Copies of this chain bind each other. A is one copy, B any other.
């Protein structure tokens, strides 16, 4: 049942999404004479850059996913609603959200769409059951089960071939997330799990990083890419560049080298971090605009002021926007959100629509950790790696984590993990078992072989 809402008394800004874009947009409207409604399909703000640490047992979900409602509790002009936005009506200025049997229509005067992106399999959606991505806390918990569970599965089997398959880990895609997760799998195998098993030697695990491009961390340039690659190789990671994944199934994956030869890699645990697909809300917006289009990844090719054509009050920010030169990272989302709120505030102050300066992205640089005490960092023309870059990573991530409690606990967890070798969050939930069952079902449909024993 759709619930009609009462018309807002003040200018109402509706924000879709609670990621960096959505949260910063809400916060930057704190002192504005507007009512803010933030609608998101999770109750938390996800600090996505540290999701790989949840997947590899270092951090708990709570540390990187504080409740959005609690962050905004003291901002009296903001309300937070749980719901999955399924419709936007630009003509009638309403947003329709759903969750289970609740449905709600929320009217807006201005709209900021920060709905983000999901994993993309480039049309091969059947890969997903076997090689999940890492975009949500549930993804991370499932991956934790798959990674740690692979070692457990290797310990119980008596077949040598099957043991080797279970001890082979493949990460597809050498962007920051791929590099970080593959580095942590290598650290688990070589440091954390040392001496924890009786039948297998975890350090005999094969950890493979596959990338279609000719370099690791392609957007960071060849120099840092090579630095990262050398460091990963030193940690025991096999880096396979110029390599495409042509199939993924229960038993492993098929890859194609640049010269056209195809190989099989038998492996149990696969992680997909090779591409993103923007939220379907992008196309919903584009269809109703006066000519705005979406790119192949579903991102909205916005106007210079981040709006959709013909709707100067409808902004698209974050991973859902396509602005040349702006990477799909936290900084782009935050800057886009702050820009959008400034335009809304400026419009409210003038009778006539203000002339807008186009959005300009200020590149603060980018970074990726590779292992403990080691990262690569690029700020403008400055490129550096190693311990110094790792310290920069540490400081920056602590700064952006929400809440002093979360900062303190993250520091303790990192201390324990990087100086010692303990990981406090190795508990596996049942979700991993559900995921295994889903794999079995896909496999049965495809009628392809499955390991036993």
State the number of copies, please.
Answer: 2
Scan A61-89; emit 1 where CB is below 8 A from any B CB, else 0: 11101110110011000010111000000
**Cβ B102 vs Cβ A43 within 8 A:** no
Name which residue of chain B comes closest to A72, CB basis: B196
Complex Cα distance, B111 from A249, in Å, reads 40
Contact with B along A83-114 (1 / 0, CB 8 A): 10000000000000001111110000000000
Q: Is A453 an interface residue (CB 8 A)?
A: yes
Q: Whole-angstrom distance between the alpha carbons of A196 and B409 in the complex?
A: 24
Which residues of A pack against B, CB within 8 Å?
Answer: 1, 3, 5, 42-44, 57, 60-63, 65-67, 69-70, 73-74, 79, 81-83, 99-104, 136-138, 141, 148-149, 152-153, 155-158, 195-199, 403, 405-406, 408-409, 412-413, 416, 422-431, 433, 436-437, 440, 450-453
Could you say which residues of chain B place their CB within 8 Å of the CB of A197?
Answer: 69
Contact A141–B100 (Cβ < 8 Å): no
Q: Return 19 A-B CB contacts under 8 Å, by A number.
A: A1-B453, A43-B152, A43-B426, A61-B427, A63-B424, A67-B196, A67-B426, A74-B195, A79-B199, A81-B155, A82-B156, A100-B433, A101-B440, A102-B156, A103-B453, A137-B427, A403-B422, A409-B413, A429-B431
Residues of B within 8 A of A61 (CB): 60, 425, 427, 429
Cα(A62)–Cα(B412), bound, Å: 14
Distance (Å) between the CB of A29 and the closest chain B CB? 15
- Chain B residues with CB below 8 A from A196, complex form: 67, 69-70, 73
A62-B453 contact in complex given A73-B195, A102-B157, C-beta closer than 8 Å: no
CB of B62 within 8 A of CB of A424, answer: yes
Q: Report the nearest B residue to A197, measured CB to CB.
A: B69
